[in-house]
Amino acid sequence: MIRKATRSIQKTSHFHVMVKPIGAICNLDCTYCYYLEKEHLYPEGEPFRMPWKVLQSFIRQYSAAHKHLPEIHFAWQGGEPTLLGLDFFERAVALQRKYQPAGCRVTNSIQTNGVLLDDAWGRFLKEQGFLVGISIDGSPDLHDRYRVDKGGRPTFDRVARGLEILQRHKVEYNVLTCVHRHNGDHPLEVYRFLKSLGARFIQFIPVVGRASPTSSAATSISVGAEQYGRFLTSVFDEWFYNDVGQVFVQTFDVALGIWALGQASLCVFDETCGRALALEHNGDLYSCDHFVDPAHRLGNINETPLLALLEDPRQQAFGRAKGETLPRFCRECEVLEMCSGGCPKDRILQTPDGESGLNYLCAGYKRFFTHCRPAMARLAALRKARQPAGQLMQLIQAEEVKARPRIGRNDPCPCGSGRKYKKCCLVS
Ligand code: SF4
Ligand code: SF4
């Protein structure tokens, strides 16, 4: 595969800001959430609600920065952004219209736990064309393990009601599933359950928490690296043989994009960082959603223009560091072009020869990218040849089925779970 030459991060055109208009405030208390603690970056009594002046300033500057592009995308996150109420977003949409550059389409996405969604939200999200990301970690027993409210109570039923609102109002949505130690051993159960809910766009996010700020160990609820690799490969096989063109799994789409176009559409697998920033409620801009800390605070958009902060040498250095700090073990890795060493926040291990900076998920990435490579190469070739994917997929699937070794129902499952094939990946 030929990967495009390293992209410059000087271009101000392609950057995204994840907006956190309510900071870290949330109505739930998910055990693995990395953002709740960010509340303590601000003084006690801080009103965590983006003031109108900051909202206006951001929308004006962000719109102007994208005026030469066909689309401006606003991504709202938290904490839980729906806690702000509908009126906040009605005002945001009105401001977007006010500052919308001619010929430029405005789109919005919002990430929510779904608990507060009701018909009024459903109508608004549909009318305004929002794409909604809703967090569901699998069936109730898997979901409720860590996704609990402030009283430690389960949330699945409330989230399912939120999903039903989205479906009833025909709001576009995708499901975001955190993969952790508990649901990580149940890839097909999770995937099939999400499909049974009607999900057609799915994102799997590996939970990796560091045991302490300098530790090379992960928290006990983090997904294991091998476990994550098994999870992705199991779902990939199920998807490839049954769901290509019907269900969209972000990691697979990204992998195909790298194969077909030499471009990673997800920063985690891109060669550089620095184009996905995070904006806190008061206008503070940070290098990335995963680096919201004093060392990565670039400034405040009320005091310094957004574009100046984006071009700040510290942010440029942050972006380049991803590639520049890759250990030799990664630079010589045969799946480097797919993986790019993963997200710097997860680079907490040492390589076998003692160099620091190896990704905690390395074993899983290696397993997944090696496993999907033949299928990706073929899909990429089809895409390049502009062949009708559906027809050709049928041919590929038929060939693959023929080529598959015969596996008995009672044999160990080839996905490596350790369970019998019939109890694991066998599709009846
Ligand atoms: S630090 Fe991780 S999440 Fe942030 S831009 Fe880089 S790869 Fe993406
Ligand atoms: S698979 Fe491992 S060694 Fe290879 S690039 Fe990714 S993190 Fe580095």
Ligand positioned closest to the Cα atom of 292: 1
Closest protein CA for atom 3 of ligand 2: 330
CB proximity list for 85: less than 8 A, separation 6 or greater: none
**Which is the closest atom of ligand 2 to the Cα of 362?**
2
Give tens-digit pLDDT for 303-335: 999 999 999 999 999 999 999 999 999 999 999
> What pLDDT was estimated at residue 335?
96
Give percent above pLDDT 70 in the chain.
89
Q: List ligand 2's pocket residues with C-beta within 6 A.
A: 329-330, 333, 335-336, 339, 341-342, 359, 362, 365-366
The stretch 198-216 carries a mean pLDDT of: 94
**Is 253 designated active site?**
no
Find the mean pLDDT for residues 358-371.
97
**Which of ligand 2's atoms lies nearest the C-alpha of 365?**
1
Instruction: Point out the least confidently predicted range of 156-165, 235-244, 256-265, 418-427.
Output: 418-427
Give the separation between CA 348 and CA 358, rounded to whole angstroms. Answer: 6
Are 79 and 48 spatial neighbours (Cβ–Cβ below 8 Å)?
yes
Count of residues making up the chain: 428
Report how far residue 302's alpha carbon sits from residue 52's, in angstroms, rounded to the nearest whole number: 12
CA distance from start to end of the chain: 36
What is the rounded average pLDDT of the residues 97-126? 97
Q: Name the band, by pLDDT with cuts 50, 70 and 90, for residue 30.
A: very high
Instruction: For 181-197, write each residue's pLDDT tens digit.
Output: 999 999 999 999 999 99
Q: How confident is the model at residue 398, as a pLDDT?
A: 65
Ligand 2, residue 326: give the atom nearest the CA.
Answer: 8
Burial (CB count within 10 angstroms: exposed 0-12, middle 13-18, buried 19+), residue 276: buried
Residue to substitute in 335, 370, 373 for testing ligand 2 pocket (most ligand atoms within 8 angstroms of CB):
335
Return the beta strands (E) in 113-200 as ranges. 131-135, 172-179
Is the predicted pLDDT of residue 361 greater than 70, yes or no?
Answer: yes
Q: For 233, which DSSP code?
A: H
**Catalytic, out of 237, 284, 289, 346:** 289
Question: Per-residue pLDDT tens for 48-75?
Answer: 999 999 999 999 999 999 999 999 999 9
Q: What is the pLDDT of residue 365?
A: 98
- If you average pLDDT over residues 12-28, what whole number do you get? 90
Side-chain-facing half-sphere of 103: CA atoms under 13 Å: 5
- Give the C-alpha separation, 318 to 274, whole Å: 6
Count other Cβ atoms within 10 Å, centred on residue 422. Answer: 14
The residue to mutate among 268, 337, 349, 362, having the most atoms of ligand 2 within 8 angstroms of its beta carbon, is 362
